[in-house]
């Protein structure tokens, strides 16, 4: 028995539901988890070794083998690629003396790819031993690695000094920039911390709070857009020994980073929202699921929770309300996009692999440890605070009919001013483009890879005959000018990721391929559709790009895109979107690649295919021509 490991499991009362924390602590201790550790954990946490191993293998930031004294995870989002990732990668390989996917011989450096880390407005970015380094260049990589070799602590190597705002806080000390370009209701300095908890909240009964939120028509900002008031009402109705509020800060959709900025600049607003939700639904357990990539915010956020406890805003009789007992714990994720899906997130919170559950039952009925559970996005909870503060009527003054209030957009890609823009719902694509200073726009990805790629072709001379057909997630085709499409739940719904591609970009080869790689990497593997089809579809796309495609291939892609919809969760259901939406909106790119004169091309090469076996058995390849 290793005492150090025992001390770690004791720290979490040998609770198997805290397996993620235990594994994180072992990683901090020695960098990876070996078979002996697993054996010991199995005994102390009363889990099977297989269970522990499958959890370790599920998460990107857990490892059974050493990952280097300095483990460097370089983001591979499309924006990083367009901002010079390749040069950074080469510089890293040269100066660390190893290749990506492995550890240098001296055990000093491990180099790994990783999916979008929420820094799309300051790429290329990497995580080194839990700290974020942004705007990397080959030059900076060399300095950085030199510093690490000289034994300087990672935290001292931040080359530009700390970023603005709270990034400079003593408990953050990060070089990450906020890049807040436009604020309205949430990103507003006219915010007095915890004022609503101290004043307005007490003036309403829990049911009144729900009613106000319902009246405001607030809808979930995590992507799905479920009405928040109704979710709270459902959650309150279900009986349970405990009730749970979860704040979803997993923010894994490539291209979003607004939750990061909210948690950096307005963490109080988010926690305040959680307390309000708990009050409204009579919840006693609060959990904020923070993606591992944002670990650098953890100490800061915990400090604020501590302050809230000191001020009586959390704990027994929270916010001075009798018999309202509520506290919040932050759970760190471990690298998995799927853990943003609410039921997978709950599995992960219980210390398991983040595989989505079958629904129903929905989390409001049976969620965390089977208690009724309300999962809300960071932005949703923050909006609820403003609604309680100023009232539903006030809130309805912003936005458009089916989409009220504001939306935080994470804008990145080919534009002069990437960053966070808080806009009213109903803002058009034209306005977004003008706002962020984008020129020569070819296409825009709305809602990240799981959203849609919409085109800009011929915007300047789009005549009546040129009206384009637009695909809507509902499956309806509508004719509409691209420029005037509006961000809203009925036209262009979005969790806020906006990635802009100008005319230099090769949409199929670079963008769509990158997005497909993302889904292939992030599928949890549970449904065969989602596990297999993205790979097969990518192969077919590769075939088309390589000049071997036929028209049938395009039709196959569309029909397989329908088949994948039977997957259990939203990840699988949207995993074909990069291909399907680019076919629908950029069909000519595909047709330009496929062969017109043949209806079959298989790329099969008999001569090549028999080579290996013939070499091995020692015979010549002879072909009969008939």
Partner 1 sequence: MSKKIIATTSLAGCFGCHMSFLDIDERILKLVELVEFDKSPINDIKVFTRPVDIGIIEGGCCNSENIEVLKSFRENCKVLVSLGECAIMGGLPALRNGIPIEECLREAYLDGPTVSENKEQVLPNDPELPMLLDKVFPCHEIVKVDYFLPGCAPDADLIWNALVALVTGNEMELPYEVVKFD
Ligand X SMILES: Cc1cc2nc3c(=O)[nH]c(=O)nc-3n(C[C@H](O)[C@H](O)[C@H](O)COP(=O)(O)O)c2cc1C
DSSP state of 467: P
Structure tokens at 391: 């009232």
Rounded to whole angstroms, how far apart are CA atoms 501 and 329?
A: 39
Rounded to whole angstroms, how far apart are CA atoms 218 and 229?
A: 7
Rounded to whole angstroms, how far apart are CA atoms 226 and 223?
A: 9
Closest contact distance (angstroms) between CB of 623 and partner 1 is: 8
Residue 376, contacted partner among ligand X, partner 1, none, CB below 5-8 A by kind: ligand X
Rounded to whole angstroms, how far apart are CA atoms 58 and 33?
A: 14
Closest contact distance (angstroms) between CB of 251 and ligand X is: 5
Site for ligand X in 253-292 (CB under 6 A): 253
Closest contact distance (angstroms) between CB of 310 and ligand X is: 29
Q: Which long-range contacts (CB under 8 A, 24 or more apart) does 192-199 make?
A: 193/268, 193/272, 194/268, 194/272, 194/308, 194/311, 194/313, 195/389, 196/272, 196/276, 196/385, 196/388, 196/389, 197/272, 197/275, 197/276, 197/313, 197/319, 198/319, 198/320
- If one asks whether residue 479 binds partner 1 (CB under 8 A), the answer comes out as no
- If one asks whether residue 621 binds partner 1 (CB under 8 A), the answer comes out as yes
Count of chain residues binding ligand X (CB under 6 A): 22
Q: Do the bridges between strand 477-479 and strand 469-471 make them parallel or antiparallel, or are there none, so unpaired?
A: antiparallel
CB 579 within 8 A of CB 539: no
Q: Which helix (H) or strand (E) holds 328?
A: strand 327-332
Q: Which stretch binds ligand X (CB under 6 A): 40-48, 205-213, 333-341, 396-404?
A: 333-341
- If one asks whether residue 251 binds ligand X (CB under 6 A), the answer comes out as yes
Count of chain residues binding partner 1 (CB under 8 A): 22
Residue 569, contacted partner among ligand X, partner 1, none, CB below 5-8 A by kind: ligand X
Rounded to whole angstroms, how far apart are CA atoms 285 and 273?
A: 14
Rounded to whole angstroms, how far apart are CA atoms 118 and 264?
A: 13
CB 186 within 8 A of CB 398: no
Q: Which stretch binds ligand X (CB under 6 A): 125-133, 245-253, 435-443, 579-587?
A: 245-253
Q: Which helix (H) or strand (E) holds 247?
A: strand 244-249
Closest CB to partner 1 among residues 38, 533: 533
Which position among 155, 317, 528, 614 is part of the footprint of partner 1 (CB under 8 A)? 614
Closest CB to ligand X among residues 209, 508: 209
Encoded one letter per residue, x for contact with partner 1 by CB under 8 A and - for no contact, window 594-613 reads -----xx-x-x-x-xxxxxx
Encoded one letter per residue, x for contact with ligand X by CB under 6 A and - for no contact, window 196-235 reads ------------------------xxxxx-x---------
Closest contact distance (angstroms) between CB of 548 and partner 1 is: 12
- If one asks whether residue 372 binds ligand X (CB under 6 A), the answer comes out as no
- If one asks whether residue 374 binds ligand X (CB under 6 A), the answer comes out as no
Closest contact distance (angstroms) between CB of 543 and partner 1 is: 11
Residue 224, contacted partner among partner 1, ligand X, none, CB below 5-8 A by kind: ligand X
- If one asks whether residue 129 binds ligand X (CB under 6 A), the answer comes out as no
Number of H helices, E strands in the chain: 24, 19
Closest CB to ligand X among residues 124, 451: 451
Closest contact distance (angstroms) between CB of 598 and partner 1 is: 10
**Cis geometry, peptide bond prior to residue 360 (ω within 30 degrees of 0):** yes
Rounded to whole angstroms, how far apart are CA atoms 617 and 611?
A: 10
Closest contact distance (angstroms) between CB of 289 and ligand X is: 9
Closest CB to ligand X among residues 297, 594: 297
- If one asks whether residue 539 binds partner 1 (CB under 8 A), the answer comes out as no
Interacting residues toward partner 1 by CB under 8 A: 599-600, 602, 604, 606, 608-614, 616-624, 626
Interacting residues toward ligand X by CB under 6 A: 220-224, 226, 248, 250-253, 338, 340-342, 375-377, 380, 569-571
């Amino acid at each position: 028995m290793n005492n150090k490991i025992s001390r770690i499991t004791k720290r979490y009362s040998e609770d198997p539901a805290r397996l993620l924390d235990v594994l994180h602590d072992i990683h901090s201790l020695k960098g990876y988890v070996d078979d002996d550790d697993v054996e010991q954990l199995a005994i102390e946490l009363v889990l099977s070794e297989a269970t522990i191993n499958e959890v370790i293998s599920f998460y990107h930031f857990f490892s059974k083998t050493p990952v280097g004294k300095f483990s460097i995870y370089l983001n591979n989002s499309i924006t990083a690629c367009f901002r010079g990732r390749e040069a950074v990668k080469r510089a890293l390989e040269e100066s660390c003396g190893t290749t990506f996917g492995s550890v240098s011989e001296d055990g000093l450096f491990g180099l790994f790819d990783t999916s979008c880390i929420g820094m799309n407005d300051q790429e290329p970015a990497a995580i080194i031993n839990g700290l974020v380094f942004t705007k990397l260049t080959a030059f900076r990589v060399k300095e950085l690695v030199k510093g690490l070799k000289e034994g300087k602590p990672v935290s001292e190597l931040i080359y530009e000094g700390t970023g603005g705002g709270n990034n400079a806080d003593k408990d953050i000390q990060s070089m990450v920039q906020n890049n807040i370009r436009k604020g309205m209701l949430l990103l507003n300095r006219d915010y007095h911390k915890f004022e609503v908890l101290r004043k307005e909240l007490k003036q309403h009964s829990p049911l009144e709070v729900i009613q106000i939120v319902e009246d405001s028509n607030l809808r979930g900002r995590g992507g799905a857009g479920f009405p928040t008031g109704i979710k709270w009402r459902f959650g309150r109705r279900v009986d349970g020994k405990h009730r749970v509020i979860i704040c979803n800060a997993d923010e894994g959709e490539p291209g979003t980073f607004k939750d990061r900025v909210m948690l950096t600049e307005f963490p109080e607003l988010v926690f305040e929202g959680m307390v309000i939700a708990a009050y409204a639904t009579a919840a006693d357990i609060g959990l904020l699921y923070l993606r591992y990539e944002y670990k650098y915010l953890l100490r800061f956020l915990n400090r604020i929770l501590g302050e809230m406890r000191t001020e009586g805003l959390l704990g027994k009789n929270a916010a001075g309300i009798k018999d309202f007992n509520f506290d919040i714990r932050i759970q760190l994720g471990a690298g998995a996009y799927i853990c943003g899906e609410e039921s997978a997130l709950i599995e992960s919170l219980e210390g398991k692999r983040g595989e989505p559950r079958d629904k129903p039952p929905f989390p409001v009925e049976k969620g965390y440890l089977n208690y009724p559970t309300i999962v809300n996005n960071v932005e949703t909870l923050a909006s609820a605070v403003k609604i309680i503060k100023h009232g539903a009527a006030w809130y309805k003054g912003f936005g458009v009919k089916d989409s009220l209030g504001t939306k935080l957009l994470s804008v990145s890609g080919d534009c002069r001013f990437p960053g966070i823009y808080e806009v009213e719902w109903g803002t058009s694509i034209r306005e977004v483009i003008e706002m962020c200073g984008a020129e020569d726009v070819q296409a825009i990805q709305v809602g990240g890879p799981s959203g849609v790629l919409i085109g800009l072709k011929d915007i300047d001379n789009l005549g009546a005959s040129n009206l384009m057909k637009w695909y809507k997630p509902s499956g309806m085709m509508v004719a509409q000018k691209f420029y005037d499409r509006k961000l809203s739940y009925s036209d262009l719904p979005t969790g806020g990721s906006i990635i802009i591609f100008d005319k230099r970009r090769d949409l199929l080869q670079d963008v769509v391929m990158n997005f497909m790689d993302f889904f292939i990497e992030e599928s949890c593997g549970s449904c065969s559709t989602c596990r297999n089809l993205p790979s097969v579809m990518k192969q077919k796309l590769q075939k088309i790009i390589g000049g071997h495609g036929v028209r049938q291939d395009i039709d196959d892609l569309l029909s397989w895109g329908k088949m994948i919809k039977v997957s259990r969760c939203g990840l699988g259901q949207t995993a074909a979107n990069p291909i399907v939406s680019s076919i629908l909106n950029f069909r000519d790119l595909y047709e330009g690649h496929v062969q017109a004169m043949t209806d079959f091309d298989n790329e099969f090469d008999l001569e090549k295919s028999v080579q290996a076996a013939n070499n091995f058995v020692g015979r010549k390849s002879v072909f009969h021509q008939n």
